[in-house]
Structure 1
Amino acid sequence: MMNETQTLITLGGYVDVVKYRYVYFVLWFIVYVLILCCNCTIIFIIWIHRNLHEPMYIFIAALSLNSLLFSTAIYPKLFVDVLSHRQSVSHTACILQLFFFYTLGGSDFILLSAMAFDRYVSICKPLQYATTMSTTTVTIFLVLGWFLPASQMIVATAINAKQKLCHFTLAGIICNNSIQKLYCVKPRIITVLDSFILTNITFIPVLFILFTYIKILMVAYRSCGEVRKKAAETCLPHLMVLISFSCLCSFDVIIARLELDLSKTVRLIMSLQVVVYNPLFNPIIYGVKMKEIWKHIKRLFCLKNMK
């Protein structure tokens, strides 16, 4: 009898994959290449220009690195699936994808929190910025950004991997918490642990970000036009990324926690937004909205006449 780690799980979230398999492949391949190019450009520009070796830009580069890792954990499998006659994944591979999906997603929230704190110190306490946002502080934020989600997800992943499956068709195209619907019995510890992780790597960072930006808005409102301009230029891209990312992540919570029975088309569309929007549009938002990065992008691609 086939053991649990060799069990194949059917990915039942595709719509007319036989009819549109090459359309799926071409579109996703184009998106993946764009994700690689956009994020590598942001990382390269920040890496080579010393004037961008500041906390804010280092955190942006870390977000772009996360997008590269996230996309690499998702897209190659999508390519294989749409070109195969059967869309399936082994239980082990599914659990591994689940680990990277939530680890990197949680890392994004913590890095966005670090960026919010950086903006708070820069705008609200500018005289303390050099000492507060030191190299040591930035390093601690980066380590926590990857270590905290990974350490918690290792425990959750290990528990999920031990669960016995009674159903073998996943209502999606990627492995997320929807896999819990395949378990014969879902232990209470999984629900408790999922709620604990969700609070630690999502709710608390979001509340912290909202608190810091409220403080920034209060200081900017009472300050001169230069401070308001600085707040708008540096905070607006972060807020755009946070809002879009939070809205997309809420879909996973709605599906996994509330167990809503959505149509296959709606699930596919929302899943595609999760794997497309954030990795692709984040570097575009930062590249266009952050003046220093945009200046170097124009020089890199000889776009000197663009404003």
Structure 2
Amino acid sequence: MSLTAADALSLAEAKVGITLKDKQREAVLAVLQNKDVFCVLPTGYGKSLIYGILPMAFDYMLGREVGVSIVVCICPLTSLMLDQRSNFTSKGICVEYVGEIQHDQDVIKKIVSGNVPLILISPENITRNPLYRGMLHNKVFKDNMVVLAIDEAHCVKTWGDHFRTAFAELGHIRSSLPNVPVIAATATATKTTFEAVVKSLLMENVVVIGISPCRDNIFLTVTSVSLSEFANNVYTQLRKEGLNYPKTVIFCRSYSDCNLVYDNLELFLGPYITYPPGKLIVRQYRLLDLYTRASTDDVKKSP
């Protein structure tokens, strides 16, 4: 038995055990009405839950068995896919990812066969891997794919021209799915970015749903300091406050910069690199550590 979009969404919310925020609900209902949607919502608002609940909502609306409708979501980073898979799975949403570290052939077979309602996949795989690009044209996907979602949609503009050109090729995927609505979600979109993304993804009669990303508790201060001065400031405060020093992330442009900053801080801190000072320099006692893409998952997830 088919339901109205609103009733289908309410049933999906109850099944998953959540209550969507107003803008989340507005976005889902627009997609259920087969409209292209562009969401500009602040980080932490829950953009991913919008496309996460769509497969189930479509199943209820179309009178299908739960698990039939398929949403394909383009994600820029494997780490993002892994986080979202964990989050969705905890809510009872069936999801799998296709990324550079996905080697489980059983999972890949399930994805390609259309037995996974929510598929998280990189732009490179969906545009350039014959296996995944081809799956969109098999009968199961033609019958059951209901949404193409683009997470971190600003990447289509900011990365698509030079850095990761597969983002610029997503329009070819959309053109092969003329009856499938697109939802593009981001926390960052200028007017120029919005127009570029809409054009690239061939979106029409777009419903724009947004909230200002401005937050009173977040500000940016830019100060030019030498590396030694910076290291000395961190050292002074870290030595003084120890475990009470606020968690701080230092971003660097390259591996060599990371190592340079880390080496300087390690030199300045001496025994104060651990708490209590002078403890064995192992992860459980360290107040400072170095993380790069090459770091293992265990290291990245350690407290």
Q: Which has the higher contact order (CA 8 A, sep 6+)?
A: 1
TM-score by length of 2: 0.22
Question: Which structure dedicates a bigger proportion of its chain to helix?
Answer: 1
Is the radius of gyration larger for structure 1 or structure 2? 2
Question: Which structure dedicates a bigger proportion of its chain to strand?
Answer: 2
